[in-house]
Homo-oligomer: A and B are copies of this chain.
Amino acid sequence: MDTKNKLLTSAERLFDQQGFNATSMDQLTEAAQMSSRTLYKHAGGKTGLVKQVLSARDKRFLQMIDVQSIDDLFEALKTWTRTEGARGCLFLRAYGETGSNTPEITDIVLSHKAAFHAQVARLVTGTIGPDHPNLGTLTAQILVLIEGSTAAAIYQGEDAITAAHQAASTLIAQASA
């Protein structure tokens, strides 16, 4: 793997496991197996690194949820949790740690959530049709369910995703009736 990818991959893992502020540049350089000089050449600094890690994760996450049905979406979330663990939404965690003091990071978080919402809307539309009167409502409800399963999975594991999936199925069936 090239230098940049090794940096972003190892940094994402550390940020996710320990938090952003609790992860030092020393830990980041050691995990990426490169000198701090090289790290700064590539990332510019810690804030730059956080931004690039979030952007990379945004891309990866959107690819993961680029599926064809709500069922597949929850299945993808379960696989993600199995392989990467469940420590909550990394974007909201970044927002919470910087307290919105870093507008560039807030922008990344908000645009990620907008893209996420758009994809859920796409899948719900594909399920109940574009003209269903409850399209917006149902989309908002399923988005909350996914957000909730991400949070609850921290302390409940995969069961939280199962519960959210079941709830989503019930809501969809009810709307389709």
Contact = CB atoms under 8 A, between A and B. Distances in A.
Given A18-B101, A99-B18, A110 B155 contact: yes
Interface stretch (A46-54, A58-66, A75-83, A164-172): A164-172
A160 B174 contact: no
Contact of A167 (B87, B98, B163, B171): B171
A113 B21 contact: no
A156 B110 CA distance: 10
A116 B39 CA distance: 43
Give how many copies assemble into the complex: 2
Interface string A87-110: 111001101111101000000011
A155 B96 CA distance: 12
A152 B144 contact: yes
Given A113-B155, A154-B92, A167-B167, A17 B99 contact: yes
A141 interface: yes
9 contacts: A19-B98, A93-B97, A96-B96, A109-B155, A137-B163, A144-B148, A144-B152, A144-B164, A170-B174
B163 A141 contact: yes
Which 4 pairs of residues, A with B, have the shortest CB-CB distance? A148-B148, A21-B21, A144-B148, A18-B99
Contacts of A159: 140
A143 interface: yes
A7 interface: no
Scoring A143, A167, A171 by chain B CB atoms within 10 A of each residue's CB, the highest score goes to A167
